[in-house]
Structure 1
């Protein structure tokens, strides 16, 4: 039977901490990309109280296009928490996230959306589908990234082995995560969704990981500690079930 139903509403959350130098280009490119697809959408910038002009930049865009929204978190930090904050403030049935630093190409959004519209529960922009996706990284960074990915393999379900479970660029159906207790800390919310979520079918799409456009990386030892702490919690969940964290 032919499906003539309209595609679901899509909300893209972009966590931001001192990313004023990147946001105008990001929003412009995202708007152009999202105009090429049929889903109703909103673009939600979640600012962790940057005080660098981020609020003013997004408010100006929002005045011209009400689909551009700003949420400001006071006294809170962390990518996963910002993502959940944005998702909790939308009624969209399809939920996405991407970085604000332009390392993720907004031009891939229509392709990711099409993959979910075609029946996938989640569509992931993957650094490890194409061989040259991270060729601009130095050897040490590539090894650290690969090690972090390999450490997730015991947690992933058979039949749903994702090559890049630490990607920060993906779209998931809300119904697959509704009711889950997701942790609002750390930087790797995709891994938690893959372990806890009701994901049956996934698509991984290749992309070229770009260099940061402006500003400074937020990576530090605290993030590494949070990641290994998350691995421990998810290991208990995967092997002993919910409630064992």
Structure 2
């Protein structure tokens, strides 16, 4: 009878085909003598990352693949992978080789020696760790994000932004229903969502430079971090997706008024023409920004999906505008001239309508 499975390594991937065989080889070297499995959770990478992992899995049963269709996001990929193993311990490591897999045995030994330990974290900011060849700007941004998470969420880590850690699988299963699954910082989500303080240990490692593929870091990733912070603090009061949808709606009002002012006052166009063009411009702006941010995990792609989505979004918002005006007019007549409250009620009804129906009919069909 073979030794029982002890450790699973979850590797969330998107366009990391060249790194898959290199990472498996490094895991095999680092974890010699340990019964382990590697679970690649791939967001349907167009470069064939899942196929590369499957090719190895045909020869090596320790390698498994979860190919997600129509779903995106590192945090949710990690959650699915961590809940898909029978191993009592599970580690999360990036698929770009920037995390040092050589410290996995030290993480494993720490978990073996202390049953009360919930999680071991690879940290760039304890003695002996480092950020490698990061430039000054990236170091400063990371430090700012770290201080923000420490102050807002009070998680007590030197490196709450780390994506490299090992945790007891039972702890993950317990906290999984409470996780937001937003953005790239799954560790932060786990630590903040637990109903009890998780006992942790931080081990140093030096962050490597990427050798293959392209970085996934962009301004949207930074925004998703702020969104995750908001969701953890206020998401139970106002859901984060609705908050984003509403904020973009406010920006859309500014776009509408700017276009109307330019056409009507600046160029002398008829008011009705300016109003129509301003409305279409605002709807178009809102559609594309919501597609990029609010519904990033369901993002529409390709000209057919985009055109279909834009048309359905405009139709939904047109009906929402009618509901807005109708409710406001009814309340205005009912309350005998309470114009401000009536207008705000109409706006709220229109926003909820637009959000609910666009979630279902624009971004919920693919």
TM-score normalized by the length of structure 1 = 0.87
- List per-residue Cα deviations over 1:33-84 (Å, max 9, x = no partner): 1114x4x321000111113132232112112221110110011111001101
Q: Distance in 1 between matches of 2:128 and 2:93?
A: 21
**What stretches of structure 1 move > 4 A for 4+ residues in a row?**
none
Which structure's CA Rg is the greater one?
2
Are 2:83 and 2:173, in contact at CA under 8 Å, matched by a contact in 1? no
Which residue number corresponds to residue 216 of structure 2? 218
Q: Distance in 1 between matches of 2:133 and 2:201?
A: 24
The structure with the greater share of residues assigned to strand is 1
Residue 46 and residue 135 in structure 1: after superposition, are their counterparts in 2 closer, same or farther (change >3 A)?
A: closer
Residue in structure 2 matching 1:204, options 202, 205, 224? 202
Which residue number corresponds to residue 35 of structure 1? 32
Residue in structure 1 matching 2:92, options 94, 97, 105? 97
Q: Distance in 1 between matches of 2:92 and 2:193?
A: 18
Residue in structure 2 matching 1:59, options 54, 71, 76? 54
Are 1:8 and 1:94, in contact at CA under 8 Å, matched by a contact in 2? no
Are 1:155 and 1:234, in contact at CA under 8 Å, matched by a contact in 2? no
Q: Distance in 2 between matches of 1:129 and 1:72?
A: 35
Paired positions, count = 231
Q: Distance in 2 between matches of 1:86 and 1:200?
A: 20
User: Could you list the runs of 5+ residues in structure 1 that have no partner in the other structure?
Assistant: 1-5, 238-242
Q: Distance in 1 between matches of 2:62 and 2:132?
A: 35
Q: Please state how far the C-alpha of 1:131 moved relative to its aligned partner.
A: 6.0
Deviates more, 1:126-135 or 1:209-218: 126-135
Residue in structure 2 matching 1:124, options 121, 126, 131? 121
Q: Please state how far the C-alpha of 1:227 moved relative to its aligned partner.
A: 0.7
Are 1:156 and 1:195, in contact at CA under 8 Å, matched by a contact in 2? yes
Which residue number corresponds to residue 149 of structure 2? 152
Report whether the alignment pairs 1:174 with 2:208.
no
Are 1:93 and 1:175, in contact at CA under 8 Å, matched by a contact in 2? yes
Residue 7 and residue 114 in structure 1: after superposition, are their counterparts in 2 closer, same or farther (change >3 A)?
A: farther
Which residue number corresponds to residue 284 of structure 2? none
Residue 199 and residue 43 in structure 1: after superposition, are their counterparts in 2 closer, same or farther (change >3 A)?
A: farther
Q: Distance in 1 between matches of 2:184 and 2:140?
A: 19
- List per-residue Cα deviations over 1:101-139 (Å, max 9, x = no partner): 110011111111112222221000001013661141110
User: Could you list the runs of 5+ residues in structure 2 that have no partner in the other structure?
Assistant: 240-366
Which residue number corresponds to residue 77 of structure 1? 72
The structure with the greater share of residues assigned to helix is 2
Which residue number corresponds to residue 234 of structure 1? 232
Residue 176 and residue 137 in structure 1: after superposition, are their counterparts in 2 closer, same or farther (change >3 A)?
A: same
Are 2:14 and 2:45, in contact at CA under 8 Å, matched by a contact in 1? yes
Residue 116 and residue 199 in structure 1: after superposition, are their counterparts in 2 closer, same or farther (change >3 A)?
A: farther
Q: Please state how far the C-alpha of 1:156 moved relative to its aligned partner.
A: 4.4
- List per-residue Cα deviations over 1:183-203 (Å, max 9, x = no partner): 223100101111122444211
Are 2:129 and 2:204, in contact at CA under 8 Å, matched by a contact in 1? no
Q: Please state how far the C-alpha of 1:7 moved relative to its aligned partner.
A: 8.3
Report whether the alignment pairs 1:16 with 2:13.
yes
Q: Distance in 2 between matches of 1:18 and 1:130?
A: 33
